[in-house]
C-alpha cells in the first residue's frame, strides 16, 4: 500500500491578531507562527496508521518556499518514508487549481494506491485542491472523510454532510481522499523526533522537472485572482448582567422569554 499525503505549511491563525497588508491582497505574516495545516496533520496520521497496519510506504509532498521544508521534516518524524518538495518561484501565488496542477504533475510519476490531503487549508481555506487533483489524475475522490478502511482494492469511507448527516461510500483504488479533522488522534512529534530525521534527504523539484512551464503554474496558471481582502465586521459587544445570582437569573430568563426560547 503506497500512500501519498499532500501537506502545507500555514500560519497559525487561531489566536492571532490578523492585519491586512498594504497590497490589500494578503495578510501581514511577520509576527505569525507557522505549522503544518491542521487538516493535513490528520491526513498524515491516517496515512501512517494505514502503513503501520498494512505495510507499504508513505510519501509526503508539499508545494511552497524553502520554509515549507519544516512540514516535510515533521512528516518524516511522524513516519513518512519519502518527502517531495515542489519549490520554485514560479509556483508562488497559485490558487487551488494551479496548486493541484503542480501536485498532479509530480504525483503522476510516482507509484500510489491512495492520495490523502487535508479537507482544506487553515489559511486560504479553498477546500478544492483535493478534488481538483483527483480530476487531473483521472481517479475517484471523496471529500471530508471522517473514517477510512482499506480492503484490498477498495476504500470504504464515511464522509461528512450537512446537519450531522454522514455518507458511507466505497471507492475503487487508486483514489484521492480529503481528510476531515477528528478522524484520528495525531501523535505528538517531539523535538527529538524531528532531530532524528534532520539529515534525511528531501526530493526537491522545480516546475521544469515536472514538465511544466512557468505560465502553467503559480499566479500565472491560476483561474482565480484575489482583488481585495477585508476583515469581517467585529461582533457586537455582549451585555453583562449585574446583580445577585437571583437577579441575574431573572434578567436572563426575561431575555430568553423575549426571544421566545422558553417555549
Partner 1 sequence: MERATREVFWNVSLVWFFYTLSALAIGAFVLGAYRIVSIWRRGWKDSRRGKPSASLSRTVADGLLNRKIFRNDRIAGLMHLCIMWGFIVLFVGTVLLTIHHDVAPFLFGTTFLVYSLVLDIAGLVLIVGVTTALVRRYVIKARPMNNLFDDGVVLVALLGIAVTGFALEGLRLTALEPFQDDWSPVGTAFAAILDGLPGQPQAWHGVIWWTHAAVSLGLVIYIPLSKLFHMFAAPTNIYLAAAEAATLTLEEREKLVGDFERTQMVSFDACTKCNRCENVCPSFAAGEPLSPRGFVLNVKAFARRKYGIETRLPGKARESVTALQVGDMIEEDAAWWCTTCRACVEECPVSISPMDVIRETRVAQMADGRKVPPTVRDMLRTMSKHNNPWEAGGSKRSRWRQELGAKDLSAGDEAEVCYWISCIASDDLRNQEVARAFIQVLSHAGVDFAHLGKEEGCCGEFVKRLGEDGLFEAIVENNYATFAAYGVSDLVTTSPHCFHTMRRDYPALREKLNIDGAPQLHVRHHTAAIADLLESGKLTFTRRLDSRVTFHDPCYIGRHNGLYEQPRRVLRALPGVELVEMPRSRENSFCCGGGGGRMWLESTADQRMAEIRVREAAAVKVDVLVTACPFCMSNLHDAAKTAGYAEVMEVRDIAELVAEAL
Positions that interact with partner 1 (CB under 8 A):
12, 14-17, 33, 35, 78, 185-196
Shortest Cβ distance from residue 199 to partner 1 (Å)?
A: 12
Shortest Cβ distance from residue 120 to partner 1 (Å)?
A: 19
Q: Which is nearer to partner 1, 181 or 222 (CB)?
A: 181
Q: Which is nearer to partner 1, 7 or 104 (CB)?
A: 7
Q: Which is nearer to partner 1, 15 or 30 (CB)?
A: 15
Shortest Cβ distance from residue 226 to partner 1 (Å)?
A: 26
Shortest Cβ distance from residue 187 to partner 1 (Å)?
A: 4
Shortest Cβ distance from residue 185 to partner 1 (Å)?
A: 6
Q: 3-class secondary structure for the chain?
A: CEEEEEECEEECCCCCCCCECCCCCCECCCCCCEEECHHHHHHHHHHHHHHHHHCCEEEEEEECCHHHHHHHHHHHHHCCCEEEEECCHHHCCCCHHHHHHHHHHHHCCCCCCEEEEECCCCCCCCCCHHHHHHHHHCCCEEEEEEEEEEECCEEEEEEECHHHCEEEEEEECCEEEEECCCCCCCCCCCHHHHHHCCCCCCEEECCHHHCCCHHHCCCCCCCCCCCCCCCCCCCCCCCCCCCCHHHHHHHHHHHHHHCCCCC
Q: Which is nearer to partner 1, 188 or 261 (CB)?
A: 188
Q: Which is nearer to partner 1, 192 or 235 (CB)?
A: 192
Amino acid at each position: 500500500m503506497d500512500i501519498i499525503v499532500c501537506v502545507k505549511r500555514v500560519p497559525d491563525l487561531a489566536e492571532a491578531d490578523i492585519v491586512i497588508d498594504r497590497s490589500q491582497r494578503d495578510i501581514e505574516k511577520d509576527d505569525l507562527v507557522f505549522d503544518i495545516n491542521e487538516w493535513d496533520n490528520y491526513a498524515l496520521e491516517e496515512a501512517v496508521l494505514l502503513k503501520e497496519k498494512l505495510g507499504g510506504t508513505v510519501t509526503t509532498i508539499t508545494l511552497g518556499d524553502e520554509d515549507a521544508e519544516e512540514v516535510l521534516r515533521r512528516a518524516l518524524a511522524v513516519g513518512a518514508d519519502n518527502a517531495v518538495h515542489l519549490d520554485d518561484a514560479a509556483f508562488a501565488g497559485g490558487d487551488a487549481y494551479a496548486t493541484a496542477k503542480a501536485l498532479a504533475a509530480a504525483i503522476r510519476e510516482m507509484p500510489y494506491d491512495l492520495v490523502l490531503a487535508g479537507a482544506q487549508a487553515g489559511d486560504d481555506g479553498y477546500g478544492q485542491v483535493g478534488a481538483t487533483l483527483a480530476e487531473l489524475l483521472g481517479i475517484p475522490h471523496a471529500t471530508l472523510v471522517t473514517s477510512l478502511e482499506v480492503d484490498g482494492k477498495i476504500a470504504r469511507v464515511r464522509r461528512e454532510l450537512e446537519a450531522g448527516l454522514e455518507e458511507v461510500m466505497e471507492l475503487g483504488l487508486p483514489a484521492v481522499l480529503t481528510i476531515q479533522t477528528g478522524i484520528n488522534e495525531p501523535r505528538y512529534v517531539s523535538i527529538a523526533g524531528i532531530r532524528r530525521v534532520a539529515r534525511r534527504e528531501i526530493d526537491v523539484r522545480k516546475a521544469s522537472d515536472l514538465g511544466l512551464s512557468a505560465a502553467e503554474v503559480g499566479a500565472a496558471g491560476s483561474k482565480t485572482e484575489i482583488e481585495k481582502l477585508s476583515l469581517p465586521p467585529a461582533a457586537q459587544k455582549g451585555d453583562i448582567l449585574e446583580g445577585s445570582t437571583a437577579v441575574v437569573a431573572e434578567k436572563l430568563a426575561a431575555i430568553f422569554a423575549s426571544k421566545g426560547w422558553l417555549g
